Amino acid sequence: MKFCDECGSMMHSDGETWECRSCGYTEARDRDQEGKMTTTQGQERSEIVDVSDAEDRGLPTTTVVCPNCGNDTAHWYMQQIRSADESETRFLVCTECEHKWREDDH
């Protein structure tokens, strides 16, 4: 992949030249340089795995009592839900019933 020296857009090959479709800049192709470019063509694709529950996402656990079922273990994660100058909120997800609550909900 080659990028335009003038505007930074992706260049497209057109015969013996590279052409920028954004600004019109053209440049002669250098076949030796093109041989050194990295390509994804021919590489194997990785398998996409659906991980829907918290344990498979690798979330850390903590000891806390679930207000829904009384289980004493929950996964937790932090999320910014207010403005940037406020601290993050810790969310908990029960490892048994998957009930979700915020740490300050008590």
List binding-site positions for Zn(2+).
Answer: 4, 7, 20, 23, 66, 69, 94, 97
Q: How far apart are CA 25 and CA 16, in angstroms?
A: 14
Numbered residues of the known binding site: 4, 7, 20, 23, 66, 69, 94, 97
**Which residues of 1-106 form beta strands (DSSP E)?**
11-14, 17-20, 26-28, 61-63, 73-79, 89-94, 100-102
**Which residues, other chains included, contact 56 with Cβ-Cβ below 8 Å and sequence gap of 6+?**
none
